[in-house]
Structures are given as structure tokens and as C-alpha cells.
């Protein structure tokens, strides 16, 4: 039987996504109470990181240990991947040895290729195209703090990057209205925009995007791999900083999210990210809980533990 993968939010149905997030909140309570939930002894997660990471690495590794298993960190520098071993051969070999694999790669097509050749579930821990695990945490954070997200208004301000693409996926799967404000030339994926038609509005003006929003989100102006474009991006994105004036357009109870790492004074002012509407630390912690629920779901073959 083909394994279930999680390369995008479309790999789970809306009902399955809701179930995973419900379970994430349960696991969070258990974790905070110190109640053991070592449900998967002996299970091993392999993690391939082509790019740097703090949150993704620690949340998957700690999460797997808390579930009773263990995780192995692999980077191209220390593996044969860095010496040209094909990704599909790596997938075949790893899936004979571990129970789950998480990949953080530049090229999304390589993540898809890995999954196509893996006999165990593969989780996308970020590619240049999207970042679905982060959206599990973001939506969990919103639901825990403000209730159901269906029908709410979310403003994405800044770069139409991998995070923005996953917000488009989330708008479809969680049924919210998404306003994307990006400078010309920095639009999110065209096919995703089309797929989310009816739930997304593409704008240029961040003030219009933020008006009466329930959630305001942004991300760095230069993603990993785009360091050489930084001077041009700093100029192009200058009007897109999420600051107090932008947040004042949103609903008074609106929350601010950022996947982190953040650059204060660039995409977000220190006043906002360190201010009362910011929920970025809760959001970061929820990576742990959401991914534990996701790993449980995939280890159980896509069945509900409830
Ligand atoms: N948000 C996120 O994915 O952070 P890391 O790059 O630190 O994993
Ligand atoms: N867009 C950022 C997200 C980092 C978690 C990047 O790809 O670098």
C-alpha cells in the first residue's frame, strides 16, 4: 500500500487537518502536564536538511523523542547526497530503515521525487515552494486563541514566497478569506492563486489588506537561497513592513504571526513582534505539538487515534 505523505496541506482532507489540529491541542495539554505519551517506541524519523533550521529540527527531534521514538539528523554535507547520490536512491534506502522521513530541500520537485520513491510517509519541512508544517502551527495558534478560522479574514503582507503559498493552501483547506499584499513581481504561485480563487484577493496595498483582518502574517523579505537578492528586495519591500500603523487597520483583537526567524526593522517592527498582538512564541511552540499530531496520524497510516 502506498504511504500517505504530507508535502502540502492538500495531502490531507479538511476533516483530517482539523482532526490533526484537535489532537495537537490535546498533546500540548498532555505535554504541559508532564503526562507521558510515548505511543511509538522504537519508531525512527529520518530528517534531511539541505537548509538551516532551528524550529523545524528541534520540534521534530524533540517531538519524536516525546512520542517514544528517536530522530536522525542528516545533512548533504555528511551524507552521500552531498556527493551526488540520487535522491530517489536515498529515498529507497532510508525507507527500508526508518519509519518516517522529513525533508527540508530547496527544490520542491526533489521532495516529490523523494516521496514517490519512499515506502514510508514523507513530511515536507519546507521547500522553496511551500511550508505546510508551519501552517499547521499557525492555524492551531489561531484556533486556540480566537476559535474557528473558517470565514475569517487573513492578511498576508510581504513576499509571495513559500509561506505565502502555504497560506493559499490553508485558505482552501480551512476556508478563510486571504488577502495577499505583495509588490509587483513577487506574487505567489500562479497555479495556487487559481486554485484558491474565490478565497484569495491579490493586492498591492498592505493597508487595504490589513483592514479589519483577524490575522496578519508576514515573513522575511529574503528567504534562504535568496541572499544575493537582498539589496533589491530591501528596496522593493520597504513599503510592506508590518508596523503599528498596519496593525491599527486590523481588528482590535487581531493577532500577528511570523514563522521566524524574523528581522526586526525590516518585514516587522520590533513594536509589533514584541507587542501584545504578537503570538509568535506560541506559534513556534505549536510546531512541536502540531507535528507530533501529524507524525502520529501518519504512523497510524492516516487513521484517527481518537
Ligand atoms: N519557521 C521555521 O521553519 O523555522 P526554522 O527555519 O528555524 O526551522
Ligand atoms: N521563507 C523563509 C521561511 C523560513 C522558515 C525561507 O524560506 O527562508
| Chain segment 15-28, per-residue pLDDT in tens | 999 999 999 999 99
**Do residues 21 and 293 touch, judged by C-beta distance below 8 A?**
yes
Nearest CA to ligand 2 atom 2: 223
* Strands 70-74 vs 153-157: parallel, antiparallel or unpaired: unpaired
CB-ligand 2 contact for 277 (6 Å cutoff): no
> Residue with C-alpha cell 508596523?
243
What's the pLDDT score for residue 306? 54
| Best probe residue, ligand 2, of 182, 224, 284 (max atoms within 8 Å of C-beta) | 224
CA of 250 to the centre of ligand 1 (A): 26
Helical axes 162-174 vs 132-146, angle rounded to 10° = 50
| Best probe residue, ligand 2, of 58, 134, 219, 268 (max atoms within 8 Å of C-beta) | 219
Query: Which residues are known catalytic residues?
Result: 104, 131, 134, 219, 259, 287
Q: How far apart are CA 197 and CA 209, in angstroms?
A: 16
**Domain spanning 9-131+287-299, CATH class:** alpha beta
Cell of 141: 495558534
CA of 6 to the centre of ligand 1 (A): 17
What's the pLDDT score for residue 302? 81
CA of 52 to the centre of ligand 1 (A): 8
DSSP 8-state symbol, 238? G
| Best probe residue, ligand 2, of 50, 162, 188 (max atoms within 8 Å of C-beta) | 162
Cell of 104: 527540508
DSSP 8-state symbol, 3? P
Would you list the domain boundaries of the chain?
Answer: 9-131+287-299, 133-284
What's the pLDDT score for residue 1? 79
Cα-trace Rg, the chain? 19
Cell of 101: 522521513
pLDDT in tens, the chain (306 residues): 799 999 999 999 999 999 999 999 999 999 999 999 999 999 999 999 999 999 999 999 999 999 999 999 999 999 999 999 999 999 999 999 999 999 999 999 999 999 999 999 999 999 999 999 999 999 999 999 999 999 999 999 999 999 999 999 999 999 999 999 999 999 999 999 999 999 999 999 999 999 999 999 999 999 999 999 999 999 999 999 999 999 999 999 999 999 999 999 999 999 999 999 999 999 999 999 999 999 999 999 887 665
Nearest CA to ligand 1 atom 1: 259
> Residue with C-alpha cell 482552501?
172
CA angle 156, 161, 164 (to 5 degrees): 35
Q: Which helix (H) or strand (E) holds 282?
A: helix 280-299
Domains 9-131+287-299 and 133-284 share a fold: yes
CB-ligand 1 contact for 259 (6 Å cutoff): yes
CATH number of 133-284: 3.40.50.1370
Q: How far apart are CA 144 and CA 173, in angstroms?
A: 18
> Residue with C-alpha cell 518516517?
100
What's the pLDDT score for residue 122? 98
**Do residues 274 and 13 touch, judged by C-beta distance below 8 A?**
no
Cα dihedral 269/272/275/280 (nearest 10): -100
The pTM for the full model equals 0.98
- Determine the distance from the C-alpha atom of residue 56 to the mean position of all C-alpha atoms in its chain, rounded to a whole number: 9
Nearest ligand 2 atom to alpha carbon 219:
1
Amino acid at each position: 500500500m502506498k504511504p500517505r505523505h504530507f508535502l502540502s496541506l492538500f495531502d490531507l482532507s479538511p476533516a483530517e487537518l482539523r482532526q490533526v489540529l484537535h489532537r495537537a491541542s490535546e498533546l500540548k495539554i498532555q505535554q504541559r502536564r508532564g503526562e507521558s505519551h510515548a505511543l511509538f517506541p522504537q519508531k525512527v524519523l529520518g530528517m534531511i536538511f539541505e537548509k538551516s533550521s532551528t524550529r523545524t529540527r528541534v520540534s521534530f527531534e524533540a517531538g519524536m523523542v516525546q512520542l517514544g521514538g528517536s530522530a536522525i539528523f542528516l545533512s548533504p554535507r555528511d551524507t552521500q547526497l552531498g556527493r551526488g547520490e540520487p535522491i530517489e536512491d536515498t529515498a529507497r534506502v532510508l525507507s527500508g530503515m526508518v519509519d518516517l522521513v522529513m525533508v527540508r530541500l530547496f527544490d520542491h520537485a526533489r521532495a516529490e521525487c523523494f516521496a514517490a520513491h519512499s515506502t514510508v510517509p514523507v513530511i515536507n519541512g519546507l521547500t522553496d515552494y511551500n511550508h505546510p508544517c508551519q501552517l499547521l502551527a499557525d492555524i492551531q495558534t489561531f484556533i486556540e486563541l480566537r476559535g474557528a478560522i473558517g470565514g475569517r479574514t487573513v492578511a498576508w503582507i510581504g513576499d509571495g514566497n513559500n509561506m505565502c503559498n502555504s497560506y493559499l493552501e490553508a485558505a482552501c483547506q480551512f476556508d478563510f478569506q486571504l488577502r495577499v499584499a505583495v509588490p509587483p513581481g513577487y506574487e505567489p504561485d500562479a497555479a495556487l492563486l487559481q486554485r484558491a480563487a474565490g478565497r484569495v484577493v491579490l493586492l498591492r496595498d498592505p493597508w487595504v489588506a490589513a483592514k479589519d483582518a483577524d490575522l496578519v502574517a508576514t515573513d522575511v523579505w529574503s528567504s534562504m537561497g535568496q541572499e544575493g537578492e537582498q539589496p533589491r528586495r530591501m528596496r522593493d519591500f520597504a513599503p510592506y513592513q508590518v508596523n503599528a500603523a498596519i496593525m491599527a487597520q486590523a481588528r482590535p483583537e487581531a493577532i500577528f504571526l511570523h514563522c521566524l526567524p524574523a528581522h526586526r526593522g525590516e518585514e516587522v517592527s520590533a513594536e509589533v513582534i514584541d507587542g501584545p498582538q504578537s503570538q509568535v512564541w506560541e506559534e513556534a511552540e505549536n510546531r512541536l505539538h502540531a507535528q507530533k499530531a501529524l507524525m502520529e496520524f501518519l504512523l497510524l497510516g492516516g487513521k484517527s487515534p481518537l
